[in-house]
Chain A
Amino acid sequence: GESVGLHLPTLSVQEGDNSIINCAYSNSASDYFIWYKQESGKGPQFIIDIRSNMDKRQGQRVTVLLNKTVKHLSLQIAATQPGDSAVYFCAENTNAGKSTFGDGTTLTVKP
């Protein structure tokens, strides 16, 4: 279940597979980007961030890629687990004090 370049509202993957979630941002002045995970009935929680002077950043099982040329952000989750099922949002930030969120992708992990 990979989707390169396209934002999809839903993504379904098998447990153990890798997941790629895409996001297009709109503001060329955005210089800081965050991926959030929102589980059902809860508020969004921070997963990983990246600044505009970087094109890749890795965390535990997650990697964020930034392509400023086409204003595209992606989140890669390695060895996806059932606990990864959630809605994932990207957020773009400027120094103007506001975060703007994308529409979100619902990730479903099948056992």
Chain B
Amino acid sequence: NAGVTQTPKFRVLKTGQSMTLLCAQDMNHEYMYWYRQDPGMGLRLIHYSVGEGTTAKGEVPDGYNVSRLKKQNFLLGLESAAPSQTSVYFCASARRGPDTGELFFGEGSRLTVL
């Protein structure tokens, strides 16, 4: 049982380049999330989805877009990468809302923007 899988695990971009992070979960969870984690800080919510075909903005959505075309996948896109987007990105999923149970996290994707 793989749980939550993120690809790629590492990526280096130049300013202005675009890329997509892929998150896949095999637990049939309804809710999925993208967080970013910066040194010495907690996790900040970028975007989330409460079901297939739906997305919503989190705390720090600017510069990112997301899509949830399939229930098991949640994609995070950077259209024009900036050095401020250098971070570790975590995807998470939950069976229903987070008030009903824990979030299951992937191993993280480390992004460096030069």
Contact = CB atoms under 8 A, between A and B. Distances in A.
Interface of A: 9, 31-32, 34, 36, 41-46, 49, 89, 91, 93-104
Nearest to B97: A97
B31 A44 contact: no
**8 smallest A-B Cβ distances: which pairs?**
A43-B105, A46-B102, A101-B42, A93-B98, A99-B98, A101-B43, A32-B99, A93-B99
B42 A31 contact: no
User: Mostly helix, strand, loop or mixed at chain B's interface?
Assistant: loop
Nearest to A95: B99
Interface residues of B, number: 29
Contacts of B33: 99
12 contacts: A43-B106, A44-B103, A91-B103, A93-B97, A97-B31, A97-B98, A98-B48, A98-B58, A100-B45, A101-B35, A101-B44, A104-B42
A94 B97 CA distance: 9
Contacts of A31: 99
Contact of A97 (B35, B50, B92, B105): B50
A23 B56 CA distance: 27
A49 B104 CA distance: 14
